[in-house]
Amino acid sequence: GQSLEQPSEVTAVEGAIVQINCTYQTSGFYGLSWYQQHDGGAPTFLSYNGLDGLEETGRFSSFLSRSDSYGYLLLQELQMKDSASYFCAVRDTGGFKTIFGAGTRLFVKA
Amino acid sequence: SQTIHQWPATLVQPVGSPLSLECTVEGTSNPNLYWYRQAAGRGLQLLFYSVGIGQISSEVPQNLSASRPQDRQFILSSKKLLLSDSGFYLCAWTKTYEQYFGPGTRLTVT
């Protein structure tokens, strides 16, 4: 079957660093992506890892280990506006399908 | 630049009534198109995807159907809505590995 697991909630303080983990089990794998969704809004793309290693985009970084079927999103210098849900997602079946995890709700406290 | 439109933004429909949600994409040709549903506080459930006109792949057997009458138009339909059809419906298109989402339709079935 296809499944992605990530923590349901994470709480951190403003200015801190937080890591959101994601493990996956899929029949095919064409890369791990991360999306951010604020309450009431649509998801927006944050990052993509097609190969093992770390990808950095400003305050956000994402890591992938294909041998461990594992990845994480790292958010640095947390800001209140980072409070949102974060979803990991895997491209599957020839790259046509994207399967999403259940999401991690991040609460940033002052 | 590419833009994705969805309408209506919100919809309240009685059980047993029909449904038609429309999604159109501008600024790209032959996109892969997707319909997702998101229950409150939950992840994104892939409902349908399409790689071309008239080509629909269904992921979840239910009372919903999808059609792609034109290259950049994707329609989600139902003949008779159920209470369980309530949710946030999102249309998306794929550019390589990134998915871009429309603003969504919030459907409440009463």
The SS3 call for residue B66 is strand
Please indicate whether, in this complex, the C-beta atoms of A43 and B46 are within 8 angstroms of each other: no
Q: What is the pLDDT of residues B13-58, one digit of tens each?
A: 999 999 999 999 999 888 999 999 999 888 999 999 999 999 999 8
Q: Which two tokens stand for residue A40?
A: 């009431």
Closest partner CB to A102 (pick from B43, B49, B98): B43
In the 8-state DSSP scheme, what is residue A77? S
Measured at the CA of B66, the angle between CA A96 and CA A30, to 5 degrees, comes to: 10
Which residues of chain B have a CB within 8 Å of the CB of A98?
Answer: 34, 46, 94, 99
Quick one: pLDDT band at residue B61, thresholds 50, 70, 90?
Answer: low
The CA distances from residue A23 to A67, A85, A100, B41, in Å, are 11, 17, 11, 20
Q: What local confidence, expressed as pLDDT, does residue B25 receive?
A: 95
Residues A12-33 as b or e (16 or more Cβ within 10 Å = b):
beeeeebebebbbebeebbbbb
For residue A75, what are the contacts with CB-CB under 8 A and spacing of at least 6?
Answer: A17, A18, A19, A20, A59, A60, A82, A106
Q: What local confidence, expressed as pLDDT, does residue A97 receive?
A: 83
Quick one: pLDDT band at residue A93, thresholds 50, 70, 90?
Answer: low
Please indicate whether, in this complex, the C-beta atoms of A45 and B99 are within 8 angstroms of each other: yes
Q: What is the pLDDT of residues A55-87, one digit of tens each?
A: 998 999 999 999 999 999 999 999 999 999 999
Amino acid at the residue B51: V
Ramachandran region, residue A4 (left: φ > 0; alpha: ψ -120 to 50; beta: rest): beta
Instruction: Tell me the count of A-B CB pairs closer than 8 A.
Output: 50
Which residues of chain B have a CB within 8 Å of the CB of A97?
Answer: 46, 49, 59
Instruction: Return d(Cα B85, Cα B15) in angstroms, integer.
Output: 9
The SS3 call for residue B19 is strand
Q: What local confidence, expressed as pLDDT, does residue A1 receive?
A: 64
Which one of A36, A49, A98 makes the best mutation probe of the B interface by having the most chain B beta carbons within 10 Å?
A: A98
Mean pLDDT of all residues in A39-53: 94
The CA distances from residue B94 to A13, A15, A44, A50, A62, in Å, are 34, 33, 12, 15, 20
Please indicate whether, in this complex, the C-beta atoms of A87 and B44 are within 8 angstroms of each other: yes
For residues A66 and B59, the model is more confident at A66
Q: What local confidence, expressed as pLDDT, does residue B60 receive?
A: 80
C-alpha count within 13 angstroms, C-beta hemisphere, residue A25:
4
Is 90 exceeded by the pLDDT of residue B105?
yes
Do residues B33 and B85 make contact, with C-beta atoms less than 8 angstroms apart? no
CA-based nearest distance A78→chain B, Å: 22
Which residues of chain A have a CB within 8 Å of the CB of B57?
Answer: 96
